Amino acid sequence: MSEPIDALTELVGTGDVVVLSGAGLSTESGIPDYRGPSGVARRHTPMTYQTFTGDPDARRRYWARSHLGWRTIARAAPNAGHRAVADLERAGVVTGIVTQNVDGLHQAGGARSVVELHGNLDRVVCLGCGAAGPREELDGRLRAANPEFAGRALAVNPDGDVELGDDDVARFRTVDCAGCAGGMLKPDVVFFGETVPPGRVRDCFELVERARLLLVLGSSLTVMSGRRFVIRADRLGIPVAIVNQGPTRSDGCATLTVDAPLGTVLPELVRRVGATACLPGR
């Protein structure tokens, strides 16, 4: 293990690093990923934007499952990997973070320059009037509307969705926007079939294009939403380093790949980078 971390330290230590993180960074916080060794296999099709907005039954099913799953996400605490990324940012080594995660754990771990590519489960938006609000407030309204709801989550996914029995779903009551008549509420996250806001994508590309190194953490890079930034870096000749448990779709264009738990690798990386003369601010 020492040799790959030595190589990673050399790549990261000179700074101007942009991080691209995925669900694998949050597994040690108790949030499983989809494809890694600690992942869970979905037994149902992920919610699409078109189904969510067009099918009231599907929308009720989503909110019933997410009502339970969000609590797991909300209780999760940042792990050593999140804190290590924040340490590298504070040291001036990491200049920006693009995360595919919707759990807010980068910020909870102390990071500041975070672009949430797919949004955040802690926020809710009305598709009618555009008003946004905290998920905690919606949680209180859903609890009030479902005082006897005691569904039991069978499995939790990284997006806060859970496996839930049909009987539990059938008796769940949804609520609309409190600010406009009948406004449809949606978590402020990007569903399948929905487009990431163009301005957000542009910001991410600009971060990557200014970087000296793109550091991928905990992503299999299966989905183009995140992999496009690796492709852009590769085309521009910007080195790419990947730390992930298991192979990724972009291993072939990476300068370095490290197959190991992030909670082990990243704190050690912080220790080693902090000991080098090239660390900015030290």
Which of the residues are catalytic?
118
Answer yes or no: is 219 a known binding residue: yes
Answer yes or no: is 103 a known binding residue: yes
Q: How far apart are CA 138 and CA 134, in angstroms?
A: 7
- DSSP letter at 62 equals H
Answer yes or no: is 185 a known binding residue: no
Q: How far apart are CA 249 and CA 215, in angstroms?
A: 15
Answer yes or no: is 253 a known binding residue: no
**H or E stretch covering 272:** helix 262-274
Answer yes or no: is 126 a known binding residue: yes
Cα angle 15, 104, 139 (rounded to 5 degrees) comes to 175
Answer yes or no: is 88 a known binding residue: no
Answer yes or no: is 19 a known binding residue: no
The alpha carbon dihedral of 197, 15, 273, 5 has a sign of positive
Percent helix, strand, coil in the chain (nearest 5)? 40, 15, 45
Answer yes or no: is 177 a known binding residue: yes
Rg of the chain, C-alpha, whole Å:
20
Answer yes or no: is 101 a known binding residue: yes
Q: Which residues are annotated as a binding site for NAD(+)?
A: 100-103, 218-220, 244-246, 262
Q: Which residues are annotated as a binding site for Zn(2+)?
A: 126, 129, 177, 180
Annotated binding site: 100-103, 126, 129, 177, 180, 218-220, 244-246, 262
